[in-house]
Amino acid sequence: MRILVTGGAGFIGSNFIHYLFRKHPDYKIINLDSLTYCGNLENLKSIEDNSNYEFIKGDICDSELVDQIVKKVDAIVHFAAESHVDRSILDAIPFIRTNVLGTTNLLNVAQKYKKRFHYISTDEVFGSLGSQGYFNEESSYDPHSPYSASKAAGDHLVRAYFHTHRLPVTITNCSNNYGPYQFPEKLIPLFVTNLLEEKKVPLYGEGLNIRDWLYVEDHCSAIDLVLHQGKIGETYCVGGDEEKTNLEITHKILEILGLGEERIDHVPDRKGHDQRYAIDASKIKRELGWEPKHKFKEALLKTIKWYQENREWWQRIKNKEYLNYYQKQYQNKK
C-alpha cells in the first residue's frame, strides 16, 4: 500500500509514520510537510534511509505539487494543520489557510483520482462540556477558538465530499495527545522541559480545566485501524479514558521529577478556555475492537523519560526565537 501522510514531520504525524513501519514494513510512505515551526525531520531520522520512505518539502495548498503526489498513492492520511489554540488567538489567518484551504485542496485532488482519504480532527470542534457527559460521534459542533473553528470546517468539508462526490473518507476526532516528539509549547512537554531547565511552569488560572489524555501510540493504532477497517463515510471518536485537570497533570509531573509546588506559576487564563473535554470512544471499541493500551501514569513516566533522554532535540527547539515569543506571552499576561 502507498500512503501519503501530510504533516508527517509533526508530533502525531511522525509517530504515525514510525507506527506504520513497525506494523506494515512493506508499505511505501510519502511524507509531505512544509516544515513550519513545529515540523522537525529529526523526528524521523531513524527511518530517513528506508527505501520505502520519501520526504517531500511542500505546502498542502500547492495544487500542482499535491496532484503530482496524490496520483501515485492509494490513500491520504491528513495530519497537516496549524494546531495551537493560543497561536490561533493571536493570528487566525494561518489556521484558515492551512486547515480550511489546504484541506480543500487535498480533497479536490483526492476526488480527481478517487483516493481513500482519512482526516485527523480533534474533540475541540465540539466546544466545552460541563461536569457531566461525553463527546461522541453525534455531538453538536460548537467550536470556541479560531483553531477549533478551522478544524470543524475541515470536518464538514470532508463529509461534504463524501455526500456530494462519494469520496471514500473517514474522520477521527481525538482527545489530547502526549508522548515523544511533541513540540514543547503544549502543556506536558512545556512543563517537563521547563522543569528540566529549572524554570517554573505557567499554569493557566487555577488549573481546573479538564482534558481526556491519549498516549500518541494508542492514537496511531486507532488511525491505522480506521484506515483499514473503518466504515466509509463514518466518524470515530478516539479517547484515552484518562480525564485529568491541568493541575493534576502538573502535580504528577512535579512528583515524578521530585519537585514541589513552588515551581508552579499561576498565570491569567487564556481567552475562551474550554472547561472540559471528554470522549466516549465506545463506537470504535465496539465496531473495530480498538482499546487504548497505555495507562496515563505509565505513559507519562515514559514520556518524561523520553524528554530527559533527548535534551538536545527539545533544547534546539526551545532556543529558537519562535518559541521564545511564546514564553513571552506568558510573561505579558502576569
**Mind listing the pLDDT tens digit for each residue in 80-122?**
999 888 889 999 999 999 999 999 999 999 999 999 999 999 9
Do both 174 and 259 map to the same domain?
no
Cell numbers 520505502 correspond to what residue?
Answer: 52
Range of the domain at 262: 187-210+243-275+295-329
CA distance 206 to 12: 29
**Mind listing the pLDDT tens digit for each residue in 139-191?**
999 999 999 999 999 999 999 999 999 999 999 999 999 999 999 989 999 99
Answer yes or no: is 286 within a domain.
no
Model's pTM, two decimal places? 0.93
Do both 149 and 218 map to the same domain?
yes
Q: Specify the length of the chain in residues.
A: 334
**Mind listing the pLDDT tens digit for each residue in 244-282?**
999 999 999 999 999 999 999 999 887 778 889 999 999
Dihedral angle computed from the Cα positions of residues 240, 243, 248 and 249, in that order, rounded to the nearest 10 degrees? 30
pLDDT of residue 272: 72
CATH number at residue 124: 3.40.50.720
The 10 Å Cβ neighbour count of residue 328 is 10
Of the candidates 73, 80, 72, 90, the residue with the CA atom closest to the CA atom of residue 33: 80
CA distance 272 to 171: 25
CATH number at residue 263: 3.90.25.10
Domain count, the chain: 2
Categorize the per-residue pLDDT at 30 as very low, low, confident or very high, splitting at 50, 70 and 90.
very high
Which residue numbers are catalytic?
123-124, 147
